[in-house]
Amino acid sequence: MSIELKQGIYWVGAIDWKLRNFHGFTTPRGGTYNAYLLIDEKITLIDSTKPEFAGELLRRIREIIDPSKIDYVICNHAEIDHSGSIPDVMKVAPNAKIITSVKGKAILERHHKQSWEYQLVKTNDEISIGARTLKFATIPMVHWPDSMVTYVVEDEILFSNDAFGQQIATWERFADEVSMDIVMEENQRYYANIVLPFANPVKNALKLVGGLKCAMIAPAHGVIFRTPEHIAQILESYRKWSNHEADQRAVIVYDTMWQSTAAMAKAIQAACEHLNIPYTIHNLSEDNLSLVTHEMMVSKYVFVGSPVLNNGLMPQVAGFLHYLKGFAPKKKVGMAFGSYGWSAQSAKLINATFEKLCWDILPSVEIDYFPDEDELVALTQTVITNLQADPTQFAHANPAECELI
Ligand code: FEO
């Protein structure tokens, strides 16, 4: 069933109950692809769904109107989860015009290899569809170069596409119908795994959104925000995350061969408990990378441990650091730890990633073969002492180079 958000404006998207992996990021609660239908003098569809949900999209549209009557198809973002059903829509509405950005058209042509009629828009362009005016703004790199948003001036609704989205499969369509704790947890996870590398583009998008009066923010994934409190909450969260502001929390991640590095992780855990710093601890061979990335984003302190394996790191730790470099989180304090046999190397390799990320770096600790009780107590004490000190005194990174990243 379609859902009316406001008179003449409907949600007609699809719910992906089975989704557990969304282009490499784990989605334990499934997902949604939101599309919206505006009934006016010009019938307008905003965004579509993954291709396999075209039937669900067209069924919901048919509950409201014959889809052949669609005049405009707005493509805010050509990634396949939003443009995948456009070919099916265009088959039943061949005279419809696609409204998108210059880059959106280029990507749609590469994806779909079709000759459709286009109207290209840029920031501040407006189109009247009858009683309503649609205003457009490009928000490049939130999430792809083509990304844009569509604002309905009279209804004060922002169709924000990937921005402010979350992956949740739920029949409820509004944030105030779902636990806000769950919505914000999924918003954080989505931001950490999709949006995190694009801090400056997000800041630009927030400046633009800040100039709009929003009665509703309707993203292309997840639930819609319609109360002033929830709209303020999601905007403030994006402000905080795009400024890389983290909580006084710690995340301890490691892999272990013979439990030596695991014992060191527990010694660091004891330091966090002593200082009353909330933490999570993850064995990377067992815990999901997307969930660990989420914890990393919200934590100021990141402890990474690995024993030495073949002159390098354990593969799961190396993979985590590779993932981390791609997301380029900033303003964190890192510490490397691990055991070794005849050649201590893991801290140097882990610290190289911290340096690349321009983090403050605490002195690392490496222990020969198996730590004894005294060494573990000493490790706990070292971490306590270092966390109580000003971490910038340990910084390795060159601030001038960091400005360039
Ligand atoms: Fe939801 Fe960038 O696609």
- Write the residue with the smallest CA distance to atom 3 of ligand 1: 79
pTM for the structure as a whole: 0.91
Torsion, Cα 308 312 314 317, to 10 degrees, reads: 120
Tens digits of residue pLDDT in 98-110: 999 999 999 999 9
> Could you tell me how far CA 142 lies from the centroid of its own chain?
10
Give the separation between CA 405 and CA 403, rounded to whole angstroms: 6
Strand extents, DSSP E, 306-377: 308-309, 312-313, 333-340, 360-361, 365-368
Tens digits of residue pLDDT in 127-165: 999 999 999 999 999 999 999 999 999 999 999 999 999
pLDDT of 189 reads 92
pLDDT of 390 reads 75
CB-based pocket (< 6 A), ligand 1 = 77, 79, 81-82, 143-144, 162, 220-221
First CA to last CA distance, the chain: 47
Ligand 1 nearest atom to the CA of residue 221, by list position: 1
For residue 178, what is the DSSP state? S
Long-range Cβ contact pairs of 21-29 (< 8 A, separation 24 or more)? 22/81, 22/167, 24/193, 24/290, 25/167, 25/189, 25/190, 25/193, 25/194, 25/290, 26/288, 26/289, 26/290, 26/291, 27/167, 29/167, 29/168, 29/169, 29/170, 29/182, 29/186
**CA 82 vs CA 18, 130, 179, 219, 393: distances in Å:** 18, 25, 26, 11, 47
Angle at 363 between CA 359 and CA 369, to 5 degrees: 125
User: Per-residue pLDDT averaged across 365-388, rounded?
Assistant: 96
DSSP symbols for 117-170: -EEE--TT-EEE-SS-EEEEEE-TTSSSTT-EEEEETTTTEEEEETTT------
Residue 121's DSSP bridge partners are: none
Annotated catalytic sites, by residue? 23, 77, 79, 81, 143, 162, 190, 221
Per-residue confidence at 404, pLDDT binned at 50, 70, 90? very low
CA 255 / ligand 1 centre spacing (Å): 32
pLDDT at 398 over 60: no
| In contact, 162 and 147? CB cutoff 8 Å | yes
